[in-house]
């Protein structure tokens, strides 16, 4: 039986970026669907539009043309307050830059989004400790960012993105600052979260090993989908 639960639907998506007298076509009419509980990697050469596409899906930027639906809701028609609500309730972000609060410990950084949630489903400290332990940082709970390596800070940022168990997780190079051992811990954790919580995960990456790890790979070239490695099992019961 087909999986018809579409979490992300993108139609005719275009993004033009004025660069002086030249207009850069970052995306050129992208169409795609991503289903519930998929882990999808978006790959392609530098400048192919990967991060632009991820930012548009997350409501961080506005397309020049086209439509983006999250759970059937057209976010391209929303104002900033509505987009903020969607991002807070439905989307977790993992960025290349950690954006951790330097005066807070790892535990406090991860617990913070839960404390600000309108309807928190977890006890902040308990949830933060569970996620940090899952990501191999159980012995770094009370350390501040300045006391952590770059790879450890990245894992704290990933735990923070997962804090409220978002139904959709968007990740831009989540293993880019990690060594192979830490990268494997992160990938295993994402797989576990996907399996246990039904989270849909979309990852932009240059890492072929990470892309191989996902359920499906979408390749962008010059702002267009060059290949969509849709796997058979997505459509099976």
Helix axes 106-116, 150-162, angle to 10 degrees: 20
d(CA 168, CA 15): 22
Residue 87 near residue 27, CB atoms below 8 Å: no
The 8 Å CB, 24+ separation contacts for 209-213 are: 209/183, 210/41, 210/174, 210/175, 210/183, 211/41, 211/43, 213/39, 213/41, 213/187
Prediction pTM value: 0.86
192/197 Cα distance (integer angstroms): 8
Q: How much of the chain exceeds pLDDT 90, in percent? A: 65
Higher-confidence residue: 63 or 197? 63
Name beta bridge partners: 149: none
Closest to 117 in 3D by CA, of 170, 57, 74, 166: 166
Q: Which residue has 């168990």 as its token pair?
A: 165
- Report pLDDT for 30: 96
- Which residue from 153, 200, 193, 176 is spatially nearest to 36, judged by alpha carbons? 200
- 126 pLDDT above the threshold of 50: yes
Q: What is the full DSSP assignment across the chain?
A: -----EEEEEEEEEEEEEETTEEEEEEEEEEEEEETT-EEEEE-STTSSHHHHHHHHTTSS--SEEEEEETTEEGGG--HHHHHHHHHHHEEEE-SS----TTS-HHHHHHHHHHH-SS--S-HHHHHHHHHHHTT-TT-TT--GGGS-HHHHHHHHHHHHHTT--SEEEEESTTTT--HHHHHHHHHHHHHHHHHH--EEEEE-S-HHHHHHSSEEEEEETTEEEEE---GGGG--
- How does pLDDT run across 97-123, given as a tens digit for each residue? 788 999 999 999 999 999 988 778 899
Its CATH class, for the domain covering 36-63+79-235, is: alpha beta
Residue holding tokens 């977890």?
A: 122
Q: What is the pLDDT of residues 138-193, one digit of tens each?
A: 999 999 999 999 889 989 998 999 999 899 999 998 888 788 888 888 888 888 88
In tens, the pLDDT along 38-55 reads 999 999 999 899 999 999
- What does the DSSP assignment read for 161-180? HHTT--SEEEEESTTTT--H
* Domain boundaries, given as residue ranges, for the chain: 36-63+79-235
């Amino acid at each position: 039986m087909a999986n018809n639960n579409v979490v992300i639907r993108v139609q005719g998506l275009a993004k033009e970026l004025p660069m002086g007298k030249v207009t850069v076509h970052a995306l050129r009419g992208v169409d795609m669907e991503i289903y519930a509980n998929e882990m999808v990697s978006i790959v392609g050469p530098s400048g192919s539009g990967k991060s632009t596409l991820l930012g548009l899906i997350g409501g961080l930027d506005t397309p020049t043309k086209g439509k983006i639906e999250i759970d059937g809701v057209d976010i391209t028609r929303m104002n900033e307050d509505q987009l903020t609500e969607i991002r807070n309730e439905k989307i977790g972000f993992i960025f290349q830059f950690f954006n951790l609060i330097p005066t807070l410990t790892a535990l406090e950084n991860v617990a913070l989004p839960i404390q600000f949630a309108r309807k928190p489903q977890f006890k902040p400290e308990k949830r933060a400790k569970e996620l940090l332990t899952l990501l191999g940082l159980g012995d770094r709970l009370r350390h501040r960012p300045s006391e952590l390596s770059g790879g450890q800070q990245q894992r704290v940022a990933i735990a923070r993105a997962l804090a409220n168990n978002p139904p959709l997780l968007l990740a831009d190079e989540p293993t880019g600052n990690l060594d192979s051992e830490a990268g494997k811990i992160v990938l295993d954790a994402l797989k576990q979260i996907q399996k246990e919580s039904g989270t849909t995960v979309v990852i932009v990456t240059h890492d072929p090993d990470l892309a191989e790890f996902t359920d499906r790979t979408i390749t962008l070239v010059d702002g267009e989908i060059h290949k969509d490695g849709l796997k058979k099992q997505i459509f099976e019961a």
